[in-house]
Amino acid sequence: MFVMILSHKHRFIFLKTRKTAGTSIELGLCNFCGKEDIITQEGIKDEALRKSLGYIGPQNNTVNIFKHRLVEIARIPIQGFANHKRHDPGWLVKKHIGNEIFDSYHKITAIRNPWDMAVSRFYFRRQLIGSEVNENTTFKEYLRITPKNDLDNSRVYRINEKSVVDSYVRFENLLEDWKDLLNKLNLDYIDLPKAKTGIRKDKEHYSLLYDDDDIEIIRNLCTWEINEFGYEFEDYR
């Protein structure tokens, strides 16, 4: 799933991608939200962090069930409403909120070198309870059993093969891009919260987990992002 923030107060939409410091950005942005804005729910630890910072928590995150995905309808009680989810793709957010708001608000997302992101996602999945990926799963195995949607972040912010985003926050330039984003939105600077830290104990360079076949898997899955943002495989093997 993905996280989303929709701020009517400041006219922006945050489309959350995976393993791009998106939770930190989401928590930081919710500090500026008003009572009418949409904030989706995070995990237990991240909600505890949000509360400790005194930021507004999840709110206004239900939608009419008839606008929601069939896969979501099957997983909730039949009560007329479902939740906006943390990683809702742009096309679904647009369906929920309508063309006028979606097209006129400033849309934000975070990006990261896909080869680096895949390694981060691998370590994250290994520590999840109930995940098919566990401590015995190798990175090579992970790449071959993981759905494309789990590794291709561009599906979150592209509609009909085109990006709908106005501002990108690059993981590789996180603090500077965060500062620039707040300036664009005319928001006062705050430090970016640090969420989901300490998951990966081994900090070796991502390239050390790859062989040549693995490199090509990510290149083929994430071709659009690699070409659009000039990402390269940094080889320290």
Query: Two tokens at 216?
Result: 């090509």
What confidence score (pLDDT) does residue 129 get? 67
What confidence score (pLDDT) does residue 199 get? 63
What are the φ and ψ backbone dihedral angles of 178, each rounded to 5 degrees? -60, -45
Q: Which tens digits make up the pLDDT trace of 135-147? A: 899 999 999 999 8
The pTM for the full model equals 0.85
21 burial level (CB within 10 Å; 0-12, 13-18, 19+): buried
Strands 167-170 and 4-7, by their bridges, are: unpaired
Residue 99, CA atoms < 13 Å, CB-side half-sphere:
1
For the chain, residues with pLDDT lower than 50 are 1-3, 65-66, 68, 70-86
What confidence score (pLDDT) does residue 148 get? 86
Q: Which tens digits make up the pLDDT trace of 170-199? A: 999 999 999 999 999 999 999 999 886 666
Inter-CA distances, 154 with 56, 114, 159, 212, 219, Å: 28, 10, 9, 23, 13
Inter-CA distances, 85 with 13, 66, 205, Å: 14, 15, 32
